[in-house]
């Protein structure tokens, strides 16, 4: 058996988000090989011939090959194998059923002679294993909505993002409609067990669907690469990710930076072609810095294998020239504010100072001693994340919609009137913890508040008699 290998130059192209057709073909063959190995292991795990094995013997070679290569087959086989040790009751193998049939609604969209063919799967019983709650069977009108959204997305991709369109034709095979999240503009997910399958909520706009498809396809590609060789060393701890509200392992951060490479490239091309307006400028300005900085943090963090470091180095090198590309100054400022807001809210929600360290801080303050050095660690009891009202306000301002009922402190913050914003936040410390404290982290002149708002909050609660500005200055020293 010949192992699957990716040459160093091809790995660099993958890292830069420009995989060749040959590399993507190798990943597809590797995934088919994986599916066949899963089926072989599944057959060997049971004493009798299960239903799926008997029925597969009646298929033509072409039909079996199509069925075996399907993303949902990988998902099914992996889950079945995971149940072997706990499902040894008589007859359990037959109860597992047949290989998944390509069920659902075939959709093909064409533009400028280029076609994308996918299956809208609303009936496979285990489609929830992609990570989102699936919808029920779709009504004809809902299928038509999906077809229209896919057509709009495909026109955008073929017209302005031809390389991205090529990536989708080589990878994307199945879309599983998922129930929307009322707290999110749209949800989507993939599984490492289902190369080329995406679960996602119904599209709202063609551009939004195009971005979501590219984002999730990047996850599929990286999962397939990781299936050939390790990209991250085992045992790496949890860390900050600019696109998540929770602490993530290094592999999760790598997935985020790789997916948002495609997102950033999409908005960069939209901006260069005069499409997308301020949304394109904001998203490009926001994510180019996040991708570049996060790639650098991964490279410096010691969690990557040599192959992972090669991939992330190529990714960072791809993005670095984008940092100097011209974007409206005010948009750049608001994009930076959005990034800083996310990091501050993440720290306030997910990091904590140990009780003994808080006691030491309080004792040092009251004794007039310098602040002792203390660490913040990831807490196991983080409160549930809420959508950022500040980010919504930034988006509204960029659209030219300045809400009359927005808090004065928030508007001052967005306008860059730091003194007014600081005064407003300092008088509202007992109102909304996360919003006010993250606001202070954005406008305070003190380094401790800007970089470690969770530390200043913990000290402030321990010494409520202290003036906040004096306490922040003490901690900054």
**For 205-232, how does the pLDDT look when each residue is reduced to its tens digit (9 = 90+)?**
999 999 999 999 999 999 999 999 999 9
Q: Is the pLDDT of residue 235 over 80?
A: yes
pLDDT band per the 50, 70, 90 thresholds, residue 315: very high
- What's the pLDDT at 432? 56
pLDDT band per the 50, 70, 90 thresholds, residue 92: very low
**Between residues 293 and 125, the one the model is more confident about:** 293
- Where in the chain are the domains? 1-32+65-83+98-229, 230-327, 330-476
- What's the pLDDT at 50? 79
Helix (H, G, I), strand (E, B) or coil at 435: helix
* Mean pLDDT (whole number) for 108-119: 98
pLDDT band per the 50, 70, 90 thresholds, residue 375: very high
DSSP state letters, 279-324: HHHHHHHHHHHHHHHHHHHHHHTT-B-HHHHHHHHHHHHHHGGGGG
- Return the DSSP state at 246: S
pLDDT band per the 50, 70, 90 thresholds, residue 85: low
Half-sphere exposure of 86 (CA within 13 A, CB side): 4
In degrees, rounded to 5, the angle at the alpha carbon of residue 450 between the alpha carbons of residues 444 and 455 is 110
In degrees, rounded to 5, the angle at the alpha carbon of residue 77 between the alpha carbons of residues 72 and 79 is 95
> What separation in angstroms does the CA of 336 have from each of 132, 266, 328, 387, 396?
31, 19, 12, 18, 16
CA–CA separation, 257 and 164 (whole Å): 17
Taking each helix axis from N to C end, the angle separating 206-228 and 250-272, rounded to the nearest 10 degrees, works out to 140
CA–CA separation, 78 and 75 (whole Å): 5
Contact between residue 122 and residue 136 where contact means Cβ atoms under 8 Å apart: yes
- What's the pLDDT at 99? 74
> What separation in angstroms does the CA of 145 have from each of 31, 183, 198?
31, 22, 17
Six-digit token string for 310 = 């090669």
> What average pLDDT is seen over the chain?
92
What percentage of the chain carries pLDDT values higher than 70? Answer: 96
**For 336-370, how does the pLDDT look when each residue is reduced to its tens digit (9 = 90+)?**
999 999 999 999 999 999 999 999 999 999 999 99
**Between residues 88 and 120, the one the model is more confident about:** 120
- What's the pLDDT at 3? 82
> What is the CA 26 to chain-centroid distance, rounded?
25
Helix (H, G, I), strand (E, B) or coil at 132: coil
Six-digit token string for 6 = 């990716």
Contact between residue 365 and residue 471 where contact means Cβ atoms under 8 Å apart: yes
- What's the pLDDT at 427? 86
Q: Is the pLDDT of residue 88 over 60?
A: no
CA–CA separation, 188 and 174 (whole Å): 13
**For 429-452, how does the pLDDT look when each residue is reduced to its tens digit (9 = 90+)?**
765 588 899 999 999 999 999 999
């Amino acid at each position: 058996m010949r192992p699957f290998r990716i040459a160093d130059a091809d790995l660099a192209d993958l890292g830069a988000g420009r995989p060749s057709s040959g590399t993507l073909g190798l990943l597809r063959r590797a995934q088919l090989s994986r599916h066949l190995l899963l089926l072989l292991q599944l057959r060997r795990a049971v004493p009798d011939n299960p239903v799926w094995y008997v029925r597969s013997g009646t298929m033509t070679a072409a039909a079996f090959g199509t069925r075996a290569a399907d993303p949902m087959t990988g998902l099914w086989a992996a889950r079945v194998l995971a149940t072997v040790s706990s499902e040894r009751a008589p007859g359990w193998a037959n109860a597992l059923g047949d290989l998944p049939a390509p069920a659902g609604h075939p959709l093909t969209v064409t533009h400028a002679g280029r076609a994308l063919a996918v299956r809208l799967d609303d009936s496979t019983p285990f489609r929830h294993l992609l990570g989102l709650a699936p919808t029920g069977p779709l009504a004809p009108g809902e299928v038509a909505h999906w077809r229209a959204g896919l057509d709009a997305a495909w026109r955008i991709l073929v017209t302005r993002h031809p390389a991205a369109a090529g990536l989708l034709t080589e990878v994307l095979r199945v879309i599983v409609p998922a129930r929307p999240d009322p707290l999110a503009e749209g949800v989507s997910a993939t599984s490492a067990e289902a190369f080329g399958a995406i679960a996602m909520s119904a599209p709202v706009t063609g551009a939004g669907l195009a971005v979501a498809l590219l984002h999730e396809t990047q996850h599929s590609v990286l999962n397939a690469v990781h299936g050939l060789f390790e990209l991250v060393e085992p045992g790496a701890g949890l860390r900050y990710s600019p696109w998540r509200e929770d602490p993530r392992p290094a592999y999760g951060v790598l997935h985020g930076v790789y997916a948002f490479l495609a997102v950033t490239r999409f908005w960069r091309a939209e901006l260069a072609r005069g499409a997308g307006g301020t949304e394109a400028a904001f998203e490009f300005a926001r994510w180019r810095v996040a991708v570049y900085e996060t790639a650098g943090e991964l490279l410096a963090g010691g969690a990557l294998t040599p192959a992972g470091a090669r991939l992330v180095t190529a990714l960072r090198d791809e993005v670095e020239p984008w940092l100097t590309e011209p974007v409206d100054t005010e948009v750049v400022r608001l994009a930076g504010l959005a990034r800083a807001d996310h990091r501050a809210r993440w720290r306030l929600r997910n990091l904590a100072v140990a009780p003994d360290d808080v006691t030491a801080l309080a004792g040092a303050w009251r004794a007039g001693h310098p602040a002792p050095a203390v660490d913040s660690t990831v807490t196991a009891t983080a409160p549930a994340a809420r959508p950022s009202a500040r980010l919504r306000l930034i988006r509204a301002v960029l659209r030219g919609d300045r809400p009359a009922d927005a808090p004065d402190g928030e508007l001052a913050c967005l306008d860059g009137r730091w003194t007014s914003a600081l005064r407003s936040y300092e008088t509202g410390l007992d109102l909304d913890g996360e919003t006010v404290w993250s606001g202070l982290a954005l406008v305070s002149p003190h380094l401790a508040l800007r970089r470690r708002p969770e530390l200043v909050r913990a000290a402030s609660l321990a010494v409520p008699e202290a003036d906040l500005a004096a306490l922040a200055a003490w901690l900054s020293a």
